[in-house]
Structure 1
């Protein structure tokens, strides 16, 4: 695989046309799947500002616990889910996950108690566990390294757009309060759940499997793609305990987990609590939902620009460190600047935080996953990164509590510490990758011998 040359394109394969065909068949449906899944995951943050706590009688940290319970099964079942997907095939497993997710979301719209809310949040975490790592795992086998960042970012941007669209949708649904005797927060869950079920049904027919099983490729296109991307031909072999032990014996996998974990503490904080934070700036309920949108729009714009530059320059880490600089700058402003006279600075800081956390995630995931080798390592690694990283979601749910309003000094302080930890762990991971890359270039083969990306 390592001796494939970019100019070795067979005359009977139009690489540009093939890449366009892959883009249309692989990424859009996964994007649609995760935008509804992530929207359903975080819409509770909008519901918390539309009367859910009062109607269910939530007190103290109960809203935070309801956010947290989602992550328990979500984290524990990441790796098992990828193993199951490898056995069943992506189109079956991923469509089943999203279909179950939609049904549970509809049920969440009819809960009557705190216990019911916890139960549905737990089941949501269980059903979504396989979607995010499974999709990254699948995408990684369709593109070579210098093509991957833009596609990873497009997929990752589903989380950004879900955050932005969630605010817009919630502001519209807020006007449905009382229809059919249901509160507006219940309609958020019900309507978004129905859309998720429809996407789940469509995804069974639209999600493609791995290149080797893709019937919409010609035999010549398939063989060319497998050579170009360096796909491990032994992908049907089962993942063994030796594979798992070998994976966890590599220090770079631990550095990667820490850098993703620390980034997600900041990312989930902005995703779950931006309506709450914006509300402290003096907005009404509907204005709060609308003003939650621009920071996500800024994150989307920065993600697209950084992805384009990263693929063009064939390097990842400099753009990741740039995004982390924005994150630290934004958090420093939020923790030190307050008051109506500084409203513009605070709002700009929220945009910086969104750009440096939510807008950076796709770059970080691509950097790690595309440096993994073969089916076994990518299957374990993509689930490991997403699973361990989402422990950050548990931490984030307790950072912005009501008693700390309106300045939230403890929450911003923890996020600032996590941003610094992310810088350190990224530097450590980059150093280990640099050492492996140097050995590869000097002739000491690692994996398939292809130099890793810095």
Structure 2
């Protein structure tokens, strides 16, 4: 089937119609409610709740426990319940939990709310990455992934501005400024979640905002790029609903999920993302504190945290556009990771120069945020089919966010103002990401070459009149195998 099925629908206009900026709002609020604890600390959270440095880091770490474990189950539920239901429901609950953070009166209360915040936010990142991957061809996906992913950089900028404003409410109704940060931002999230129930798009196969002709065009565009989505794939071979067949079907589904992990590239995807999560989370959690140690007041530190985030957003969008135009990922992901590494080297080598430190924070923000978005898009869009994309995206984000635990303990207050340990850890994980990305690139290059040899051998056998696989059989095999099919080519 070709694009000639439509004479009335313009493909550019269709792309505008299917672009999903509402996901950016959802992801933006998730990141804001996760990272605003770094703003709250500057307004007395740690002092009012009598938290030691170790206890504060425990509140950061406990968020990632359920966040990591719930990623894959969340993506499975996403497909079963539909994205608009599941994502808006999760968003409403993490907004409520964030609001409750502003009401806690003890360390135990803060730990509890952070735990449930991690649980309810678990579906946001992998769910949105999975949904985006099901809508776009690979050569048009990077700038959209990056706009979505780097909306978090705007959160960093907006969050700093918002926190500086909310900080002025310190003492209003007898509440400290940190309580107002949580309450106002949490309440806003709840309101937005209610609206997004009606705005979040579903998968292309069931999207009601498209006409039947437009859904067919979207399907054809994606089949041409990555093969069938396998949206309606079933594990059993017939429609019988006997108990034995239902049990057999469940076993096959579990086996299909486990089979995804037989591919070594799945583990490389997690490793290269883990390598950038540590410096990125370290920056998000501790940049305001690092800036304050340069001699600024709390509000001045919030305001000075804004420019690096804004710069990172525009840098990431330019890089992503170039990556799409050249249909290449590895060089851009490694190059931007090296930029972040350069920032950490500057922090280690010029620890007493405030101007150099501030400049280094720009490099880390630009390099880490850009590289993370490139790696997520590269890995997710190289997977094909609902099963491999849902499990692969959840694994990458879940495993990668182990880095959030590492980052939380990388900057103990006793190391200030130079934080050599934290900077060294950040640099080491940047190197891990570079090595893993390079291994992934080599792996898919060798796999593409292997498949080229197989196709060439098939063609030669066909020309000699030897028996070959029929076109119908080949298409059925492609539909079953997704990116594992011999005709599929990975984008490097």
TM-score bracket relative to the smaller structure = over 0.9
Q: Displacement, 1:214?
A: 0.8
Return the alpha-carbon distance in structure 1 between the equivalents of residues 202 and 304 of structure 2: 39
Picking from 16, 39, 48, the partner of 2:41 is 48
TM-superposed CA distance for 1:438, in Å, is 2.1
Deviation at 1:95, TM superposition (A): 0.5
Residue 323 of structure 2 aligns with which residue? Answer: 310
> What is aligned with 2:345?
332
1:115 aligns with 2:153: no
Secondary structure of the structure 1 residue equivalent to 2:369: coil
Q: Are the equivalent residues in 2 in contact too, given 1:174–1:184 (CA < 8 A)?
A: yes
TM-score w.r.t. length of structure 2: 0.88
Counterpart CA distance in 1 for 2:208 and 2:454 is 38
TM-score (norm 1): 0.95
Distance verdict in 2 for CA 1:389–1:188, change over 3 Å: same
Q: Distance in 1 between matches of 2:183 and 2:228?
A: 43
Structure 2 segments unaligned to the other structure (5+ residues): 235-251, 456-477, 479-483
Q: Which position in structure 2 is the counterpart of 1:146?
A: 139
Q: Distance in 1 between matches of 2:263 and 2:443?
A: 10
Aligned length: 445
Deviates more, 1:297-306 or 1:399-408: 297-306
Contact kept, 8 Å, 1:9 with 1:15, in 2: the verdict is no
Name the structure 2 match of 1:452: 490
Alignment of 1:25-424 (within 5 A): 27-230=20-223, 232-237=228-233, 240-339=253-352, 342-424=353-435
Q: 1:221: how far off?
A: 1.4
Whole-Å Cα distance in 1 between the matches of residues 369 and 229 of structure 2?
34
Q: Partners of 1:349 and 1:103 in 2: how far apart?
A: 36
CA distance in 1, matches of 2:368, 2:37: 20
CA distance in 1, matches of 2:294, 2:5: 57
Larger Rg: 2
Could you tell me how far apart the structure 2 residues matched to 1:447 and 1:302 are?
A: 36
Displacement of 1:442 in angstroms is 4.0
Cα deviation digits, residues 212-270 of structure 1 (max 9, x gap)? 10112121211121111126353233681222222111111111111101110011000
Q: What is residue 475 of structure 2 aligned with on the other side?
A: none
Task: Quote the offset at 1:9 in angstroms.
Answer: 6.2
- Separation in 2, partners of 1:448, 1:240: 23
Aligned partner of residue 81 in structure 1, secondary structure: helix
- Contact kept, 8 Å, 1:373 with 1:448, in 2: the verdict is no
* 3-state SS, counterpart of residue 141 of structure 2: helix
Alignment partner of 1:18 out of 14, 18, 29: 14
Distance in 1, matches of 2:442 and 2:170, equals: 54
CA distance, structure 1, for counterparts of residue 406 and residue 376 of structure 2:
20
- Secondary structure (helix, strand or coil) at the match of 1:360 reads helix
CA distance in 1, matches of 2:442, 2:318: 25
Whether the 8 Å CA contact 1:232–1:375 is kept in 2: the answer is no
Task: Indicate if the aligned counterparts of 2:308 and 2:366 stay in contact, CA closer than 8 A.
Answer: yes
Asked if 2 retains the 8 angstrom alpha-carbon contact of 1:269 and 1:399, the reply is: yes
Q: Is the 1:373–1:447 contact (alpha carbons within 8 Å) kept by the matching residues of 2? A: no
